[in-house]
Amino acid sequence: MNESGLAQQLLNLIGGKQNINQVWHCATRLRFTLKDRAKVPKDKIEALDGVITVVEASGQFQVVIGNNVGDVYHEVVKLEPSLSEGETSGETAAQGKMTFKSAFNSLLTFISGVFTPFLGAMAGAGILKGLLSLAVVMGWLTAKSGAYQIWWAAADGIFYFLPIALAFTAAKQLKVNQFVSMAIAAAMVSPGIVALGAKATTIDFFGIPVVPANYTATVLPILLVVVVQKFLEPVFNKLWHESVRNILAPVCLLVVIVPLTLIVVGPISATVSSWLATAIVSLNKSVPILAGLVLGGFWQVIVIFGVHWALVPVMMNNIAQNGTDLMMPILLPAVLSQAGAALAVFLRTRDAKMKSLAGSSTITALFGITEPTIYGITLKLKKPFYLACVAGAVGGMIVAIFGAGANAAALASVLSLPTFIGKGFGLSVVGDVVAFALGTVLTYFFGGINAGAKTKIAPSANSELGEALAAPVKGVLVPLTGLADEVFASETMGKGVAIVPENGMVKAPVAGVIRLLYPTGHAIGIQSDKGSEILIHIGIDTVNLKGKHFQPLVAQGQHVEIGTPLVQFDHEAIEKEGYESTVMMIVTNSDQYQIATLGQGATDDRPVMTLA
């Protein structure tokens, strides 16, 4: 399937822009924040040609595409221009109560949204820095040669002016004036301020002593500055009439925030950055084996859950503060061990499709893109993933012991090796080789490759027996295709029925196990004892109520019988809130059955659908 066709199918299955708050992409994944996750058939998206897998983490619905994710994203935006990177589509769902989990997920979403747009350029510049260092060490170039100076400017520019790039993307995430943010960042790295910072020269600001710091290549200060702008910008926008607002509000922001940055925000963030960098260096020096074990062994697990973005600013801060980062070299064994495991699958498997995928994934993993390897091969087969983590831990410990550091930010890959040139470089390469070789050997002999490659998910044998589905609620049966919600009406999620309820009690239409129970109570998923997979969705767009007027009566994992009360809801109150209370019952694995709907009109507990 081409990128355009894949983008169209993804939008159809996700529910179009009406169900999307945000969409952006990283190196391999399309990342969505959704209004109503219950409307999205995860299994059907995973089955699309061109989709490796789907991951739900950090409050995001992540569709793993692979190396051509950028092309698919651009096709998505071409189909729905309002979904430009980082923008929201329509009104977002109402905010629920702030919890630690939701706050952490928001932080990760913010960080990934800030770094993703220019990650490729930054990684390329980092690799170029490493190659220039290698060229000087090998005697191919001198630091005074014209070629070196030109290429060094190309490699160092994005890092030197990093606060400006971060200002633009952070402002876009926080929805403040991006160009004012860039102007503030430009002031922080202006030649005059940089020169004062280098000499630690104290200057006077209306009697307040100011010691400018060097903000080039820093991360934390500008992020904090944009957060401050988020609070002050609305104040100045309200202060001025709209006829002069576009000029005078930015003037006020520059007049207030730049001094505030140099006097307060910058020194605080610089101190925090210094403490953080010192703590990490101390940990690596005092307990290097532990650092290598954790980062080398669990880095890919961290990537799977999407929380690796929290460490990106930390690594960049280390380079800004100390000139090197000790974490990045430890991550390379974690990457190479997955490449080694993929190579073992390529050599051992008898499945032609798996062999082809393993061969290409080995190459992409060597160059730092591990998602196709993880989701398409090692995690799919399970044992290879675990064995690669063991190999990564061993290699990570070797690298950590010898204290190699990265002098530039780049993706952990074989191309990033030149950025590690310096103390411990030679022996760190030994750790990289060990991780790759051990990942290959362990997986080849103990990975259970051919058994895993033959594994197929087949329809339940019991599904052939057929079954009848009772009405989940008393009311009037109406065609699913007549609903105002396009996702359900188009039967994208599967065939089913809709019932306009006469009461507020949803009961189990079959005997089975509760597999999904949304905290809001508006949707519940059941896997019947005979194999059918049923989604009951109460109302249209009722996810926005955040659980108001819904009371779940069962627990996830509980076995229920036909007629067991599942959810109690107030359909009249829901309608007064402006939402339809129609109850939909969808068979999400409809493709395994021949489905018949039994009439229309009033219904009670009688069968309304049969599966054969």
**Backbone phi, psi, residue 559, to 5°:** -90, 135
Residues 6 or more apart whose Cβ sits within 8 Å of residue 104: 58
CA atoms within 13 A on the CB side of 538: 36
Residues 6 or more apart whose Cβ sits within 8 Å of residue 162: 122, 216, 217, 218, 219, 316
- Coil, strand or helix at 490: coil
User: In the structure encoding, which two tokens stand for residue 312, read together?
Assistant: 């990106």
Strand order in the sheet with 595-597: 467-470, 607-611, 595-597
Query: Largest Cα–Cα distance in the chain?
Result: 87
CA distance 159 to 197: 17
CA distance 536 to 263: 57
CA distance 187 to 161: 11
**Backbone phi, psi, residue 537, to 5°:** -120, 120
Q: Any catalytic annotation for residue 252?
A: no
Which listed residue (25, 26, 389, 522) is catalytic?
A: 26
Which listed residue (25, 537, 549, 571) is catalytic?
A: 537
CA distance 421 to 410: 14
Task: Please give the angle made by the CA atoms of 559, 563 and 567, to the nearest 5 degrees.
Answer: 75
**Backbone phi, psi, residue 155, to 5°:** -80, -35
- Coil, strand or helix at 25: strand
Q: Any catalytic annotation for residue 389?
A: no
Identify the CA nearest to 172 among candidates 117, 232, 216: 117
**Backbone phi, psi, residue 176, to 5°:** -120, 175
Count of other CB atoms within 10 angstroms of residue 430:
13
Angle, to 10 degrees, between the axis of helix 327-348 and the axis of helix 288-304? Answer: 60
In angstroms, what CA-CA distances link 269 with 243, 264, 272, 312, 408? 36, 9, 5, 16, 21
Task: Please give the angle made by the CA atoms of 19, 25 and 31, to the nearest 5 degrees.
Answer: 40
Identify the CA nearest to 199 among candidates 180, 209, 212: 212
Supply the residues annotated as catalytic.
Answer: 26, 537
